[in-house]
Structure 1
Amino acid sequence: MKKGYLFFLLLCLVALLLTGCGEERLATGGATIEKKVVYTTFFPLYDFTKKIGGEKIEVVNMVPAGVEPHDWEPSPQLIGSLSEAEMLISNGLGMETWLDKVSSSISASVVVVNASTGIEPLKGAKDHGYGKEKQDDYAAEEEKYDEMPDPHVWLDPLLALQQARNIATALSSLDPANATYYFNNLAVFQEQAEALDQAFQDGLSGLARREIIVTHLAFAYLAKRYNLEQVSISGLSPYIEPSPAQMKDIQDFGRNFLLPH
């Protein structure tokens, strides 16, 4: 029981660190003559692109540290600095709500890549729930999200691998002379992603319950992959705040069903 509970806590910690919906790092290195300059829209894509591009690519992350990427928008100055880039890698699936607004301001020479190409999106997000009150209070706010694609594909290790493949293909098109280098780095990424997938399968195999409490419904792809059920504090939108009564329901759920006695 203790082993399973410890793994559950580690799973939650790792998942929160990987969401890309919290603190992120910003790459500020300037471009060099030898390297192609590639901008990424937020940290997971920056990390994937750095791993694939290695020393051949200068990668710049657009979202500053500590900024929520869901509601971030670039400044005119940052859009202007995109002129130094040869490629912009985005997540797609509605993650970058600002991209359509500024597309006309981005130089036509910048190749915009959707890293989620080929991934079947989930619509909205399913919540295990913990009472009718929660469903009633959130229904109106969440209804508009029901048909929206869930953008959090990178939380599934094998879908993160698909994004990395798309990035490797894009970089190889941008810089054909180093295509072998990029796909060799992709092979290393694949080994790591598949090892993480196996670790999830092994670590979760003995759990008696499959519910996980999450801050918002960002884990649908992870939950689908490993047969988990999300119990959310808020919905797919990170902006909807639960009432005190709903928070009490969540606390009661955790005490009664998830935490060891």
Structure 2
Amino acid sequence: MNVRRLIPAASLAGAVALGATALTACSGASAAGGNTDGKLAVTASFYPMQFLAERIGKEHVTVTTLTKPGVEPHDLEITPKQTGRLGESDVILYLKTLQPAVDKAVAQSGVKNVVDAGSLTELEAHAASGHDDHDHAAEGEEHDHGGAGKDPHVWLDPAKYAQIAKGVGAALGKADPAHAADYEKNTATLVTELGSLDTEFKDGLKTTASRTFITTHAAFGYLAERYGLDQEGISGIDPESEPSPARMKDLQGVAAKDKVTTVFFETLAGDKTAKALAKDTGLKTDVLDPLEGITDKSQGADYFEVMRSNLKNLQKALGAK
């Protein structure tokens, strides 16, 4: 099945190479970090980067995250105090252009070991919609923070997330050569687990009554492409953008034509729009989590648990056999 791919309505990311930010070797308690516990001080921009650092670094790293649980990452603002602390990191892991405030702080940090996750895999353009809806595209234009039309939500594809994991493991090994073998081993374990998750999604979504899902946040372009599904986003890649009446009407037609049963919303953004569309079309609502943060409302305690909840919810909504 062909996945719908157009230039996106709202884009927030670009594939930016590491370029001049060469990874230089330093000890676990580097001059940059001055970490008194002797561990590598890693700062992650938001949850998907934090998860990789913790799973690969384990006991050799101290991980802090700039985006607190429950905060929508796209809207993050950074205090001068946070910017100052960022400069004490041994390694920074982030995804360039996803969070403009983070990009600015990273540029000012002076940290040598800076890893842009977008440079570790190929970022792609994904449409928020399977239709060339001019009004809908116009809504998203203000949310394009100068990215190259690329979708940042790459961690929702386990295969691409595994590519990023390999790059993060290599970066930690270069920053802390004394524990490089452990980072390599932990990376291999994580990549194997992500491979198993990829297989679960392939098998679980192989045969379904419908291939189309509607979601408030058009974050699932990579997931849709990987598993042969069609994503229809109510809003653009920015979860807070408001859909036009024309877009809502368009989605009612899509729901009828493609046998859609469910409108998905996410845990970190409101469900008002999803409920409005569901009410107008007689559809159910359920959670599809873009995994930008873990809270006590999340359907799982970590990346793997939430992704498996997403799979279960997709199987139910799409009528998996």
For the aligned pair, the TM-score class normalised by the smaller chain equals 0.7 to 0.9
Q: Which residue in 1 is equivalent to 2:196?
A: 195
Q: Which residue in 1 is equivalent to 2:99?
A: 96
Q: Deviations over 1:210-261 (max 9, x none)?
A: 1111112211111111111111110123232124564465456446612289
Q: Which secondary structure state, in structure 2, belongs to the residue aligned with residue 98 of structure 1?
A: helix
**Aligned ranges 1:245-260 → 2 under 5 Å:** 246-247=247-248, 250=251, 253-254=254-255, 257-259=259-261
Structure 1 residue 50 corresponds to structure 2 residue 29:
no
- Which residue type is aligned with residue 69 of structure 2? A
- Which residue type is aligned with residue 119 of structure 2? T
**1:117 to 1:193, Cα distance in 2 relative to 1, 3 A:** same
Q: Which secondary structure state, in structure 2, belongs to the residue aligned with residue 70 of structure 1?
A: helix
**1:154 to 1:137, Cα distance in 2 relative to 1, 3 A:** same
Q: Which secondary structure state, in structure 2, belongs to the residue aligned with residue 51 of structure 1?
A: helix
TM-score by length of 1: 0.78
**Aligned ranges 1:159-238 → 2 under 5 Å:** 159-238=160-239
Q: In the aligned structure 2, how far is the partner of 1:141 from the partner of 1:52?
A: 39
Q: In the aligned structure 1, how far is the partner of 2:157 from the partner of 2:249?
A: 30
Q: CA RMSD in A?
A: 2.4
**1:174 to 1:96, Cα distance in 2 relative to 1, 3 A:** same
**Aligned ranges 1:151-166 → 2 under 5 Å:** 151-166=152-167
Whether the 8 Å CA contact 1:32–1:58 is kept in 2: the answer is: no
Residue among 37, 49, 66 paired with 1:62: 66
Whether the 8 Å CA contact 1:37–1:87 is kept in 2: the answer is: yes
Q: Percent identity?
A: 37
**1:229 to 1:138, Cα distance in 2 relative to 1, 3 A:** same
**1:236 to 1:210, Cα distance in 2 relative to 1, 3 A:** same
Whether the 8 Å CA contact 2:56–2:183 is kept in 1: the answer is: yes
Q: In the aligned structure 2, how far is the partner of 1:77 from the partner of 1:198?
A: 43
Q: How far apart are residue 79 of structure 1 and its match? A: 0.8
Structure 1 residue 127 corresponds to structure 2 residue 125:
no
Select the structure with the greater relative contact order (CA < 8 A; seq sep ≥ 6). 2
Q: Deviations over 1:56-99 (max 9, x none)?
A: 1000011112111112121101111123311111122x212124
Name stretches of at least 5 consecutive residues in structure 1 with no aligned partner.
1-30
Count of residues in correspondence between the two structures: 225
**1:118 to 1:81, Cα distance in 2 relative to 1, 3 A:** closer
Whether the 8 Å CA contact 1:216–1:237 is kept in 2: the answer is: yes
Whether the 8 Å CA contact 1:124–1:147 is kept in 2: the answer is: no
Q: In the aligned structure 2, how far is the partner of 1:167 from the partner of 1:58?
A: 15
Q: Which residue in 2 is equivalent to 1:75?
A: 79
TM-score by length of 2: 0.64
Q: In the aligned structure 1, how far is the partner of 2:222 from the partner of 2:50?
A: 20
Q: In the aligned structure 1, how far is the partner of 2:107 from the partner of 2:228?
A: 42
Q: Which residue in 2 is equivalent to 1:21?
A: none
Name stretches of at least 5 consecutive residues in structure 2 with no aligned partner.
1-34, 262-316
Q: Which secondary structure state, in structure 2, belongs to the residue aligned with residue 60 of structure 1?
A: strand
Whether the 8 Å CA contact 1:223–1:230 is kept in 2: the answer is: yes
Q: In the aligned structure 2, how far is the partner of 1:76 from the partner of 1:254?
A: 46
Structure 1 residue 117 corresponds to structure 2 residue 119:
yes
Q: In the aligned structure 2, how far is the partner of 1:39 from the partner of 1:110?
A: 13
**1:103 to 1:205, Cα distance in 2 relative to 1, 3 A:** closer
Q: How far apart are residue 180 of structure 1 and its match? A: 0.8
Q: In the aligned structure 2, how far is the partner of 1:123 from the partner of 1:173?
A: 31
**1:95 to 1:169, Cα distance in 2 relative to 1, 3 A:** same
